[in-house]
Amino acid sequence: MTSRPVALVTGGGRGIGAAISHRLARDGYDVLLTYNTSSKPAEMVVDEIRVSGADALAVKVDCSDEGEVGLLGIHAWMNRKIDVLVLNHGRYDRVPAAEMELDDLRRTMKANFEGAVNVWKVVQPHLATNARMVVVGSQLATRGSPHGADYAASKAALSTWARSLALAVGPEGKRVNVLAPGYVDTDILAGDSDSKRAQRIEEVPLKRIGTGDDMASIVSFLVGDDAAYITGAVLHANGGLYLP
């Protein structure tokens, strides 16, 4: 009996990450997902995936903590080889650009950028020969943000690093791409007033907020055979909100 391939999704218990975890399970993967503070949603995702017939496991990993990331690197599932790596974790503190302190920047960069690089470093020895990787970035990485300069900078660093990595590991048969979402219906927008949400919808040419499933479908494509000749790409998925 052939074992199912394995996908590792950081921040896979909520929002976009949860949708990606579910989609990859439907696509035939067993899913190892990480969470930091919210264990209950992550365990719910695991239970739902298991009911569907796939296997899944949630592990607590603060991606800004080198020690916890190091433990991920010696997790038992690493022995199965990782076929798909999705770097989706992140923090967004909404710090106004003009008020941003160096500590704000360091905290966000450590989680969003350094944490992603560290996860890559510990997982890299366990990647399958033809592993596929998707980094979840943001439109703000190229657009900028007056109320999230630290977040935008961290995602810009992440995107440029991912494209550099694509050049480095391409000859090995590995692919690395970036998904850059726009407005997506996750916790980041949960605090919007009705008027703010209506404003966001009006800004989007397709006249709706994106869903986690919208993003998960793109990840499914990028790690699949139909995208076999795509690497180093930044795929903007924002309903036309931002056209770089």
User: What residues act catalytically?
Assistant: 151
Q: Provide the sign of the torsion angle of the four alpha carbons 242, 230, 89, 120, taken in this order.
A: negative
Q: Residue 151's closest CA among 206, 89, 233?
A: 89
Residue type, 121: K
What is the C-alpha to C-alpha distance for residues 181 and 133, in angstroms, rounded to an integer?
Answer: 16
- What are the beta bridge partners of residue 60? 35
Packing angle of the helix pair 149-169, 115-123 (nearest 10 deg): 30
Q: What is the Cβ-side half-sphere exposure of residue 203, based on CA atoms within 13 angstroms?
A: 14
Beta strands in the chain (DSSP E): 6-10, 30-35, 56-60, 82-87, 127-136, 175-181, 234-237
Joined together, the tokens standing for residue 87 give 């770097």
Q: Provide the sign of the torsion angle of the four alpha carbons 137, 139, 144, 145, taken in this order.
A: negative
Strands in 6-10's sheet, in edge-to-edge order, are 56-60, 30-35, 6-10, 82-87, 127-136, 175-181, 234-237
